[in-house]
Amino acid sequence: MTASTSKRSDAITKGPAKAPARAMLRAAGYDDTDFAQPMVAIVNTWSTVTPCNMHLQQLAEPVRQGLREGGATPVDFNTIVVSDGITMGGEGMRASLISREIIADSIELAVKGHSLDAAIILVGCDKTIPAAAMALARLDIPGLVFYGGTILPGCLKGRDLSIQDVFEAVGAHAKGDMDDGELDAIERAACPGAGACGGQFTANTMAMALAMMGISPMGSGDPPATDEAKAAEARRCGKLTAELAHKGVSARGFVTEASLRNAATAVVASGGSTNAVLHLPAIAAEAGIAFPIETFDELSRSVPVITDLKPGGRFLARDLFRAGGVPLFGKRLADAGMLQDTPTATGRSLFAELAEARETEGQQVVRSPADPVKATGGLSILYGDLAPQGAVLKTAGYGSTSFEGPARVFDGEEACFAAVSAGQIREGDVVIIRYEGPSGGPGMREMLAVTAAIAGQGLAGKVALITDGRFSGASHGFVIGHCSPEAAGGGPIALVNEGDTIRIDAEARRIDADIDWDARRAAHTPRPANRLGGVFDKYARLVSSAAYGATTIPPVIEQADR
């Protein structure tokens, strides 16, 4: 792109009528050279509220340097982050999924409002990552997503720790298996500094997915947040964004049906977070692509889990980086014919990027599809009496294919957590947490406080949990989320009573119960909506079913179903 080439930012920098706009830009430090170049938004989710994002302010400077070296003009904006780990188990968690929409909307407004030519988005905590991809797909401009990286493990008495260990320690403490001093020691040691939560939880799952999708440069997200290589990756990503802006390569060139399938394959093969079942359809919807959640189930039947990562496995994201990172993981899948070759933000194809993967001798984190950690993938989509629109079962790390037991019914997370903490949940129970869906919550809270407390009491895999809410990437056990339609929308989960026998057949992909559903529905009194005011009520009115990604812009697939 040259000074004479038409570009979006000409709308604020070119011609006599734009003298007032240029005057204000000059006051902000821009000059004629800046106006002649592509003007690129650096959208930063930096915040001091969470270690996931607290270092992104420092990474913005090498991003700026890379943009300038590439002949582009950096224009800085900030947007919000809501920390899942901090808000978990409380009212604040209702804001987490809603923040995904707010972040995407704010990026759209800042970029469109100022007629900018491209964008690079710096991300860390869970919802900032899919929100960034959603915004780029919606805007259909050149740009990429740069992930700030994982936190390093904490260490206590020679044992690596993550935030998962703190949540599970709460359960052990409630059971009486851990005293105050032990809980305090784990709390203080688990999170040593900057970076997103350290296992194959939602942040690292989605960062891997975006790299496989091509909208994040391969390898850029792999170095941990505090690794000395991170600044060099930031600079590289800035320069790549400038190249995309000059060439006019739009983000939708990377968000395609094939690349979304690659991303879903990565989620399944890494035993990744169930939240990806919300986020990938939402990204697809912004690009005008129908991406049914059944894709995850189809892949899970043929794609094995090939990483031994927490929460179900032994290792953390730092260990994956040392083993060979996402390139090694992706190469194993590509060599097995499980990926399609697609364009990436580096200008090279996915397979060309993966061909350069290097494996650390003796690593145990990444296996081959021929010798997997688990023969089938980490996610399954279940239907049946309780979930006509589907529900998501996280299977990584557990071999059980069926479960049957009495329903323990709770209207909301707090009531369930209190029962777990009081030791009222027994092996064989099917715990049901309802009225936590996208609209009914509102906000579709994560249930990590509950699942971790159950795990901390030694009941992971011995208790089934079904909810119309969702799970943290750190959750593990026999857990089923996104049960749709949700209770607040009249879904069957609202009609289950305490003691009903619930049957889960993971192989047949069903959740059923011997209930006279017509009689139950006739006797059912709908629960009043949970009104919190402001953005929460606005979201509750607009949000789609979890089966369609819980978006506030009607996705293509939902429109087709209507």
- Positions marked catalytic: 472
- What value, to the nearest 5°, has the Cα angle with vertex 264 and ends 258 and 268? 145
From residue 389, alpha-carbon distances to 284, 292, 513 in Å are 19, 11, 16
Distance, CA of 478 to CA of 33 (rounded, Å): 59
Tokens of 215: 């909208």
Evaluate whether 278 touches 550 at the Cβ level (below 8 Å).
yes
**Burial profile 497-517: b = 16 or more Cβ within 10 angstroms, e = fewer:** eeebebbbebeebbbbbebee
Query: Which residue from 128, 373, 167, 142 is spatially nearest to 247, judged by alpha carbons?
Result: 142
371: amino acid identity, one letter: D
Distance, CA of 459 to CA of 133 (rounded, Å): 37
Distance, CA of 500 to CA of 515 (rounded, Å): 8
212 phi and psi angles, rounded to 5 deg? -70, -25
276, 244, 104, 490 alpha-carbon torsion, rounded to 10°: -40
List the 73-78 sheet strands across, edge first: 73-78, 39-44, 118-123, 143-147
- What value, to the nearest 5°, has the Cα angle with vertex 465 and ends 460 and 470? 110
